[in-house]
Amino acid sequence: MFNDIVIMAGGSGTRLWPASNSKVPKQFLSLPDGSTFFGAALDRAVATAPAGRIVVVAGASHVPHVIRAAAALPAEQRERVVVIPEPIARNTAPAVLCAALYLKRSLGPGRRALVLTSDHVIGPIDAFRADVEAADSLAAQSKFVVFGIPPHGPETGFGYIEAGEPVSAGGHAAGRTFLVASFREKPDRATAEKFLASGRFTWNSGMFGFDCDFLIEEFRAHSPDTLASFGKLEKPTEDAYEKAQGVSLLSRWKGMDDAYRAVKGISIDYAIAEKCRSVAVVATSFDWVDIGSWDEYARFIEKGSAQGSKVKAPVFSSASPGCWVDSDLPVALCGVEDLIVVVRSGADGSPPSVLVCKRGESQRVKDAVEAIKAAGRTDLL
């Protein structure tokens, strides 16, 4: 099994604005069981890798949320967690490279790492572990391994992965592991329908695994400027760490700030995956949900029969069927129907804001966010 786990905990998740914002992004929103997306990813990491490091790469402003979740782990698991605060958001390629360099320089060569997202819902864990085992087998063969989700329909909101020739990983995943023929951008509806009909495509989950030495060499070949920006990062000294509630925080890694100021933002897909000399895909057997809109979040919370917010206030309704509310202030609804209402009072330090949209139209939130940016009100995000 993979030696180490890397959890990507960056991003602001504006598709779920205003509950998700730069201070409290989507990955720290509540799930029906009372945990958060990030907390579930952390539990998944512990259950998947019995030993090794769990490296969390997160924006500096989000570190308190990460520490709070990690502090809830048993002591022996909490000691495995290392949080790397990013001084500046630079997309996924610099974050992944930073984690890989940390693992190699701290623990030596030959480490294989699994990268997990922190904003998806995945289960059951046994199926997930079995697919991870197949991915590890492929990563040990010097392959960059991606997890592809068998599509449920012609979805236009995901990137797609085209499967090529079969490749052997053995075990549970027999017949579901392939070399990657191509990566495709988010398609229009007609193209997505063609992808679905062909049977050769899966959705790109954003999760992947690799041998750290192999990955670093791929950066050297395909994204040398990114690698050069991190060239001065050496093995962290003991005084580079501090402890926060029993969790190691790599807050004083010499050269880290300079590296992030120098590096250009680029995704791991553009920097490495689409150019890598050897890429494989595991067509997954586990359930996977990407909560990418308020409509999806509302359905997910309603299915779980739980409140979406830990601080949810009472809702008073008169002749208002089909409405869904997530608010930390009391809300009254009168004579309306099929609305999504999200209210944040600002009591937690986030900007006070209100969203009202018709059910089925929550994808338009991204347009509202763009309008907020255009108006120069990024303080609301």
| Gap between the Cα atoms of 170 and 316, Å rounded | 56
The confidence score (pLDDT) of residue 310 equals 54
- 10 Å Cβ neighbour count for 113? 26
- Overall size of the chain counted in residues: 381
Q: Can you read off the two tokens belonging to residue 114?
A: 């699994």
Per-residue pLDDT for the chain (381 aa), expressed as one digit of tens each? Answer: 999 999 999 877 788 999 998 888 889 988 877 789 999 999 999 999 888 999 999 999 899 999 999 999 999 999 999 999 999 999 999 999 999 999 999 999 999 999 999 989 999 999 999 999 999 999 999 999 999 999 999 998 899 999 999 998 877 778 899 999 999 999 999 999 999 999 999 999 999 999 999 999 999 999 999 999 998 899 999 999 999 999 999 999 999 999 999 999 999 999 999 999 899 999 999 999 888 889 988 988 888 755 555 557 899 999 999 999 999 999 999 999 999 999 999 887 888 999 999 999 998 999 999 999 999 999 998
Instruction: Report DSSP letters for 299-319, one per residue.
Output: HHHHHHTS-S-TTPPPEEEES
d(CA 20, CA 380) in angstroms, rounded, equals 11
* Cis geometry, peptide bond prior to residue 321 (ω within 30 degrees of 0): no
Residue 10 is predicted with a pLDDT of 82
The torsion angles phi and psi of 331, rounded to 5 degrees, stand at: -130, 135
Check: CB of residue 280 under 8 Å from CB of residue 134: no
What pTM, to 2 d.p., does this model score?
A: 0.91
Q: Which amino acid is located at 302 in the chain?
A: E
Q: Show the domains of the chain with their CATH numbers.
A: 4-290 (3.90.550.10), 294-380 (no CATH)
b/e sequence 184-210, b meaning 16+ C-beta within 10 Å: beebeeeebeebbeeeebbbbbbbbbb
Q: How far is CA 284 from CA 131, 135, 175, 299, in A?
A: 6, 10, 11, 23
Look at residues 285, 277, 273, 279 and name the one whose alpha carbon lies nearest to residue 178. 279
Task: Tell me what pLDDT residue 309 has.
Answer: 53
Q: Count CA atoms within 13 Å of residue 228 on its CB side.
A: 7
Report which of 361, 359, 356 is spatially closest to residue 18, judged by C-alpha positions.
356
Phi, psi of 48 (to 5 degrees): -85, -40
H/E run at residue 371: helix 365-374
pLDDT at residue number 218: 97
Tell me the helices (H) and strands (E) count for the chain, helix number first.
Answer: 12, 18
Distance in angstroms (rounded) separating the CA atoms of residues 328 and 286 = 34
pLDDT score of 307: 53
